[in-house]
A and B are shown apart, each in its own frame.
Chain A
Amino acid sequence: AQSVTQPDIHITVSEGASLELRCNYSYGATPYLFWYVQSPGQGLQLLLKYFSGDTLVQGIKGFEAEFKRSQSSFNLRKPSVHWSDAAEYFCAVGGGSNTGKLIFGQGTTLQVKP
């Protein structure tokens, strides 16, 4: 079955510290992978996406993610977290069928301590 797992429901980091949010997927075909961020009461904003090519993808707001096919992972990283990064983060996978449909993980809530 196709699925996305974000093992960490809630993560707290100190401002300035590094961040890694985990994402594992199960998908039978070539996966297209996305990370979105959602601030309270808002829609989702696209941080970055992976379709092919270089497995290290750069996104907005200083985020990057690395696609590791052998581990079925697409972890999101940021070297130095800012207080404004506190939000809900969703990993999603879509497929080569080109329907555009996404399967979302349950999300990870990021709290940033001053």
Chain B
Amino acid sequence: GAVVSQHPSRVICKSGTSVKIECRSLDFQATTMFWYRQFPKQSLMLMATSNEGSKATYEQGVEKDKFLINHASLTLSTLTVTSAHPEDSSFYICSALTPTGLMRTQYFGPGTRLLVL
């Protein structure tokens, strides 16, 4: 299957600082990427859809000023958690959607564990 990378895999930061997470599609161009949040022992919660060259689309209840998404190229989307607080601690996972066609499939990155102290 296709390969999606995330960086960093783990980050610890102080409350009030900002953290940037990168998601890269390594072997196909992805005009669309997704950002998810996952709490322990739970399913994935879609946060936003990242669209190359345009603004991200956020799910209801997700603060767009808190979670800034930039999709600057066809292989890179970034999620910046601004002014992070302990309640933002979580596992963040991105996915890249295969190009337009009948069998569009999401391939996932390995995730980023964020701990805000």
Contacts and interface: CB of A to CB of B under 8 A. Distances in A.
Whether chains A and B associate is: yes
B103 A41 contact: no
Range, interface on chain A: 20 to 34
Contact of B32 (A46, A94, A100, A106): A100
A24 to B, nearest CB: 15
B107 to A, nearest CB: 7
Interface residues of B, number: 26
A90 B44 contact: yes
A101 B49 contact: yes
Nearest to B113: A41
A91 to B, nearest CB: 10
Determine chain B's interface SS by DSSP, over half rule. strand
Interface in A20-78: 32, 34, 36, 41-46, 49, 51, 60
A45 B109 CA distance: 9
B77 interface: no
Contacts of B95: 44
Interface of B: 1, 4, 6, 32, 34, 42-44, 46, 49, 91, 93, 95, 97, 100, 102-111, 113
